[in-house]
Structure 1
Amino acid sequence: MTDDMKGKVTIVTGGGKGIGFGIATAFAKAKSNIVITGRTESTLISAKEKLEKYGVEVLPITADGGYEEQVKEAVDKIIEKFGRIDVLINNAQASKSGLQLVEHTQEDFDLAIKSGIYAVFNFMKFTYPYLKETKGSVINFASGAGLFGRDGQSSYAAAKEGIRGLSRVAATEWGKDGININVVCPLVMTKQLEQWKAEYPELFEKTIQGIPLQRFGDAEKDIGGTCLFLASDAASYISGETITLQGGSGLRP
């Protein structure tokens, strides 16, 4: 399956750290050339150095997906360097998670919408001509916050459910072009969760008990591995789906 990635070009938004870096690592190991975008240049440069160890080309681009012109310029740079785009993974997202709905300001809400659904829209819009040429894949990230209505996640959930709706429409419209589009809802071990585990070990253990597989996902192996599958020829007939990668805790009808 990973042989499908050799020589291809994969964009990972927010690919300089966290889940995005784990995904970028999985694709780099599969020999895909990598584009990572984000707002902090130093983070991207550090990630570039690590990813290049797998023998692939890595292009870091400082860009905020919420701004149309920045995304257009980023895509122009990608095409100038690589001449193609095969996979778009929209991972980046910011939000005021933890605030109750009535505590949100409009600016708080705008943060989630702009960094989430607007960024996904912009990257999809400007990469579309090149994804059409390669019959590529789009993988967008949503969340159990939206699927299950989690407390303190109103703006984040709204953005993520908007991304799911956008993805389903795109799957319908772009199917004729051979582009498949899917959504992933992950539950992942992050640095923040590791810190929380150290500070609240009993609460962490209680949380783990609610996950049938008894662990949080690994960004590279679990999330990156699933993204690799969705971007491969083996998954070319899967489109418009939402996949919950939550260790069995994201059960849906």
Structure 2
Amino acid sequence: MTSTRLAGKVVLVTGAGQGIGRGTALALAREGACVALAGRTVAKCEAVAAEIGAFGGSALALACDVTERTQIESALAATAGRFGGLDALVNNAQTSVQRLLAETTFEDVDVCWRSGPLATLHAMQAALPLLRARGGGSIVNFGSSTAIDGNAAFGAYAMAKEAIRGLSRVAAREWGRYGVRVNVIVPNALSPAAEQFAQDDPERFRKLTKTMPLGRLGDPEADIGRAVVALVSDDLAYLTGDTLMLTGGA
């Protein structure tokens, strides 16, 4: 069953085949939004689309490598063509590289840059005319606590994630006149990588979660996806240029 909270809204989510992207897509669809699921592995997006269809939601799976600008533009055009427009963009896709700073290569920085801030910029630019045509809308980008905290071995990734936050603040100031809100979520969620970590080293994972004030990692749908729903809806219509720290207090 779906609600009608976001009925009539059209949202594109990148990296929607797993983890936070999947959780976000499910949360949006349960609230009545039509959701375009973009990802490099289209089979994963098709599986999520099938989940959404099973509870009566509407979804479109799209093959999209966000490092290729033309593919981002094609995904947005396909979304508008299928659903009649665009009301929100969720830039979730991002490649992560973990390597000590002294050993970080140009290739490490390049892949994080192209899949993160550059892809986010390209998607935002391509989405702007579509959002303006609907009288405004919401863009949700993703930062990382590893960048804010300066965690070891995340140099290239941290650079990319903080660039996204800076880009988002500028866009919020420039595009507010069009009714377009731009915000960032910094999540701490049970991603596929975190699930693998829990399987590989359950004791260390247990100790890690025990140090967190809420004692657990966030659920991709219930904790992160529902926050995206709030940003896309009118509930947080006066919030822009800001960062939501959804880290369970960590």
Gaps of 5+ in 1: none
1:198-245 Cα offsets, whole Å, 9 max, x none, are: 332332222113210111000000000111111111101000001110
Give the equivalent residue in structure 2 for 1:123: 123
Where do residues 104-183 of structure 1 align in structure 2 (5 Å cutoff)? 104-134=104-134, 135-183=136-184
Q: Which residue of 1 aligns with 2:204?
A: 203
Deviates more, 1:188-197 or 1:105-114: 188-197
SS at match of 2:116: helix
Question: CA separation in 1, counterparts of 2:122 and 2:73?
Answer: 8
In structure 1, C-alpha distance between the alignment counterparts of 2:61 and 2:70, rounded to whole Å: 17
SS of 1:234's partner is coil
1:95 shift after superposition = 2.0
Q: Which residue of 1 aligns with 2:81?
A: 80
Q: Give 1:9 shift.
A: 0.6
Partner of 1:241: 242
In structure 1, the residue matched to 2:11 is 10
CA distance in 2, matches of 1:64, 1:5: 27
Residue in 2 that maps onto 1:34: 35
User: Is the contact made by 1:28 and 1:54 (CA closer than 8 Å) also made in structure 2?
Assistant: no
Deviates more, 1:239-248 or 1:192-201: 192-201
* Secondary structure of residue in 2 paired with 1:46: helix
Deviations 1:37-93 (A, max 9, x none): 111121122121111123222111111112111111222211221121011110000
Deviation (angstroms), 1:197: 2.1
TM-score (ref. length: structure 2): 0.95
Q: For residues 50 and 180 of structure 2, what CA distance do their matches in structure 1 show? A: 31
Deviations 1:175-199 (A, max 9, x none): 1111111000000012332332233
Q: Aligned pairs, how many?
A: 247
Contact 2:17 2:42 in 1 (8 A): no
Maintained 8 Å contact 1:31/1:54:
no
Which SS does the other structure have where 1:127 is aligned? helix
**Separation in 2, partners of 1:236, 1:85:** 17
Q: Which amino acid in 2 is paired with 1:17?
A: Q
What are the superposed Cα offsets for residues 3-56 of structure 1, whole Å, 9 maximum, x if unpaired? 441121111100111110001000111010010111112112212111112322
1:62 pairs with 2:63: yes
Alignment check: 8 A CA contact 2:18 2:192 kept: no
Matches within 5 A, 1:46-57: 46-57=47-58
